[in-house]
Copies of this chain bind each other. A is one copy, B any other.
Amino acid sequence: MSTRDQIVEAADGLFYEQGFAHTSFADVAGAVGISRGNFYYHFRTKDEILDAVIARRVEATRAMLARWEEESGDPAGRIRCFIRILVANGGKIAAFGCPVGSLTAELAKLGHAAQAEAGQIFTLFRDWLRAQFEALGFAAEADGLAMYLLSRSQGAAVLGSAFRDEAYLRREADDLCAWLDAKLSPTRKD
């Protein structure tokens, strides 16, 4: 792996675990094991690293959504893949929150120009979820349902990390799956 990729990967993790403002050049350089001079050769400013980290996350999100598209045949199964992030990444979410939500929140406070780019990852999820709901027959409702799922997930991530409660994240994921099942079987509502 190239030095540049190592830097972006280390910065990605550090931005997630300790925030963008609280992560310094020295932190990233130390994590990679290179000198600050070498660092400056690849990224001249902190904002450049942030842009690269966001681009990396966007690409990783795209790849993940595409993988779900392959692995799961039906749209409902794909939506369950999304819900399961809360469980699969439960440990990190309980400790550091949602990577997307916490970064956009921090950039919004900093008034940073890259906030719009970071928020684009939300749009990625939103559009993908809406497409799944549309495939399930929820034409006009689809975007609202996508936003509902996004919102519930973000709320769960915030409270899960505030209370440092991984079990709560599992319960929320189960509850969301139950909500999805109820939406799919219009015979009876709980």
**A binding-site residues for B, Cβ under 8 Å:** 17-19, 21-22, 95-98, 101-102, 104-106, 108-111, 119, 122, 147, 150-156, 158-159, 161-164, 168, 172, 189-190
Q: How far is the CA of A21 from the CA of B189 in the complex (A)?
A: 46
Q: How far is the CA of A105 from the CA of B164 in the complex (A)?
A: 11
6 additional A-B residue pairs with CB within 8 Å, beyond A151-B156, A151-B158:
A17-B109, A18-B110, A22-B110, A104-B161, A154-B155, A154-B159
Among A22, A150, A162, max chain B CB count under 10 A is at A162
Q: How far is the CA of A109 from the CA of B22 in the complex (A)?
A: 9
Which residues from chain B contact A159 at a C-beta distance below 8 Å? 122, 147, 150-151, 154
Which of B111, B119, B158 is in CB contact (< 8 Å) with A101? B158
Q: Closest residue to A122 on the B side, CB-wise? A: B162
Which of B19, B21, B122, B162 is in CB contact (< 8 Å) with A104? B162
Q: Closest residue to A110 on the B side, CB-wise? A: B22
Which residues from chain B contact A150 at a C-beta distance below 8 Å? 155, 159
Contact status B152-A108, CB under 8 Å? no
Contact status B152-A105, CB under 8 Å? no
Which of B96, B105, B190 is in CB contact (< 8 Å) with A97? B105
A44 CB to nearest B CB, Å: 21
A119 CB to nearest B CB, Å: 5
Q: How far is the CA of A102 from the CA of B19 in the complex (A)?
A: 12
